[in-house]
A and B are shown apart, each in its own frame.
Chain A
Amino acid sequence: MTTLDRTEALDLSALAPGSVTADPRPSYQGWIVHQTKLIEVATALRDQHGFDLLSSVTGVDYFPDSMEVVYHAYRTVGGPGLVFKVQLPRQDPMEVPSITPVWPGAEFQEREIWDLFGIRFAGHPDLRRILMWEGFEGHPLRKDWREPFYEEDCKPLKSRWPEGYYASAEDKTVYKDNLQFPANFDPEKAVFDGEASLYGALAKYTTVHAGLKTDHVVLNLGPQHPSTHGVFRAAVVLDGETIVGLKPVMGYLHRNHEKIGERNTFLQNMPYTDRLDYFNSMSSNWGYSLAVERLMGVQPPERAEYLRVIMAELSRIQNHLILIGMLLNDLGAYFTPALYAFEERELILDIFEAASGSRMMCNYHRFGGVARDLPDGVLEKIRGLVQERLPRKVDEFERLLTENEILVSRLRGVPVIDGEDAVRYSITGPVLRAAGVPYDVRRAQPYGIYDRFEFDVALRQHGDLYDNYLIRVDEIRQSLRILQQAVKQMPDGPIIAGKPQYQVRVPAGEAYGRIEAPKGELGYYVVSTGKPNPWRYHVRAPSFINITALEKMCVGQKIADFVAILGVIDIVLGELDR
């Protein structure tokens, strides 16, 4: 297992002497860059040192002294990454230069930092709140901002034991509900139009045809819509059927994972990671346990590593099957391919249920291994699926769909995004590989035991919708290859390092654990101060970041193509909104 190393030959302090220093805190990596030199250093990193993929931009509130903006950058040729930070004194107004001129993929992430921390970004194209609504009071992830149901800074709560008389949380608040308002607030007199800034941002699109100014139609797609991606809304400006402008609106499923994550202990966060990408709880668990195990310095035993790989690859297969089924649903083939996909998924979920106890919210990983071993007969079931049934069914699926003329005419030739733009917009996962960039975290920076398996990184060249569909089938085949090897090689032995315990000691430090989730690169940035609960818990969600380029992908296409493009990016609202 490789750790996040400082790249050896790279001494950032040479780039801007005096403004870049190594991070002195124990168990912290990376560099602290002064904000005046941020753009210069970033441009040098991207152009001269090859760090073309900006993986994550996030904020941390080191109450009461400072706030930080943390950047993680990687090279698409692979290898360990680079983390650098900008520190600010913690007093309003706080401003940092926006990094979107260098890496446009940071756009939504910087909006999120503004929304949740209150740090402004100078030069940002459209700095509005993204997860909360315009008009919301406060910046929630600040340490001195308390949510209405606040009881204590860290769980476990004293009100539950030993004097645990049942009391509903509503009764303990002023407003008898999960609400807080500014002092002397008068709801009858206040006027709110949160949508004004959204439609204002869209209003700039008009066309002039032969001297006639033409207005366009603004159409809201979602949040309630027939496609099943979840509560996602896109405000689209249409010229006839062609999309002229698009603004995604999210936050309809913002469930405050990160704030709750700061109140939870490290172990209590594990079931919450299930609910991020709720299709692939086995993968979501892995990223988090990777980050915390890095801080703790524990290594899972062999059998646990194999179990993790088996579960993650099974999860990838069922995710891609569902994706193809739902894409076909959106295209109009209601509901046949989806039903066939659901049938295989049910058999895989039976395995998850037998091994972990639940079909979807598996809660299977623990720090240092997995929670339960496979019961008798489950390995046989996995073998049966992986060696006999699934390869046959994938072939059948391909026979059903791949050459279908309607599918081909709808998908082939509709461009999604090309390779260079995809890297600039921080897109990862199958969408990036369909555009011709062979970046897969399992090869770029192998985690677990992926370096032992023989498999190919699925790659397609054209980057259109059809390639995005084909690459999912390719990836299912590669996952089956990995599974066949893993099932043969899995040894016996313990499934967790050390004794299972609920009070884990996590030393102070920061860690960024990232994995190749079926939807893209899923990363967890965890900062610990040695206490039972994390100081900062951030999820680098591939769905959220892949959507950054949605406007670029859709402008110029027809509205019907928008549905297909959104389907193929593979978003899940649980991790998009967190």
Chain B
Amino acid sequence: MTEPKLNAPGYEIPGDLEHAVSITTLDRLYNWGRRSSVWPMMFGLACCAIEMIAAQASRYDLARFGMEVMRPSPRQSDLMIVAGTVTKKMLPNIVRLYNQMPEPKYVVAMGACAAGGGPFKEGYNVVAGVDKFIPVDVYIPGCPPTPQALTAGLIKLQEKIDRQSIRNVRWYQKGADAVEIPVPVLGPDLMDPRRFAEIKQLAAQTAARQTGAPEAPAGEA
């Protein structure tokens, strides 16, 4: 386990008191508490979920990092590990779950599919990367990332948490605690409410282009 550097640099503590005394800052203490007890949400979509469960199992025990509690409910979790391919049919549920998570919340895109569409990027039902809809903190490439790779990614997340400061975090500022992402709608294709005007405009443009010759169909006999 990476030793959290609780001691603020510049203060020398005598050797025999090192396990008893620590001179630290509020930021460090706050972040140390948060990064040592991140509770992931049990959110496995596909094959990467199995490696996530294997990381939770006895060989690559995630409980050593404080992540032993895997809650299926978003209300009780801090971290959403998007493990697996994000499909258009599932996406409204993913965004809804993300909205239901209380602050502070983090997202780790585990695997090639969640990071950038993966090998299924060209599929008509696949969203090429979950970061098109929800903000991602750490990307872990691999197909699937081995449990050791996932653990390395989670350590990177812990390092990111270490760098945050109480002064700047969104949930302590004035205004809304969390940014609610509008839930996409499943129509003729996936519709993102933030892009409605753009979709309307582009659809009108394609209609104007198509009033010429109809598109030649593909296929070999």
Q: Which residues of A contact B (CB under 8 A)?
A: 63-65, 131-133, 135-137, 140, 143-144, 146-150, 153, 169-170, 174-175, 177-188, 190, 192, 194, 223-226, 228, 230-231, 251-256, 259-260, 263, 271-272, 275, 278-279, 338-339, 342-343, 345-346, 359-361, 529, 531, 573-574
Contact = CB atoms under 8 A, between A and B. Distances in A.
Contacts of B47: 275, 278, 360-361, 574
A254 B127 CA distance: 11
Nearest to B45: A231
A183 B201 CA distance: 10
Contact of A135 (B58, B186, B196, B217): B186
B207 A184 contact: yes
Contact of B220 (A153, A253, A339): A153
Given A135-B187, A143-B218, A182-B188, 19 more contacts: A64-B217, A131-B125, A136-B186, A136-B189, A175-B202, A178-B117, A178-B126, A181-B189, A231-B45, A251-B125, A252-B89, A253-B46, A253-B84, A255-B87, A256-B122, A272-B119, A342-B57, A343-B59, A346-B54
11 contacts: A153-B219, A178-B123, A178-B126, A181-B202, A181-B206, A186-B200, A187-B199, A228-B42, A253-B87, A346-B57, A574-B46
A260 B123 CA distance: 7
Given A64-B219, A136-B189, A253-B90, A339 B121 contact: no
B43 interface: yes
A254 B87 contact: yes
Contacts of B191: 187
A187 B219 contact: no
A30 B219 CA distance: 25
Contacts of A148: 124, 189
Contacts of A256: 120, 122-126
A188 B204 CA distance: 14
Given A255-B87, A272-B119, A132 B125 contact: yes
Contact of B203 (A183, A278, A529): A183
A574 B46 CA distance: 7
Contacts of B186: 133, 135-136, 192, 194
Contact of A184 (B57, B120, B204): B204
B126 A251 contact: no
A224 B93 contact: yes
A192 B183 CA distance: 14
B199 A252 contact: no
B221 interface: yes
A183 B59 CA distance: 54
B126 to A, nearest CB: 6
B37 to A, nearest CB: 19
Contacts of B153: none
A271 B119 contact: yes
Nearest to B199: A187
Contacts of A181: 187-189, 199, 202-203, 206
B64 interface: no
A63 B218 CA distance: 9
Nearest to B41: A224
Given A259-B124, A342-B58, A137 B189 contact: yes
Contact of B121 (A135, A149, A183): A149
B218 A146 contact: yes
B199 to A, nearest CB: 5
Contacts of A185: 188, 199-200, 203
B183 to A, nearest CB: 13
A302 B198 CA distance: 60
Interface string B42-82: 11111101110110011100000000000010000000000
Contacts of A64: 217, 219, 221
B51 to A, nearest CB: 7
A183 B146 CA distance: 44
Contacts of A133: 89, 186
Contact of B218 (A153, A183, A224): A153
B138 interface: no
A65 B221 CA distance: 8
Contacts of A150: 122, 218
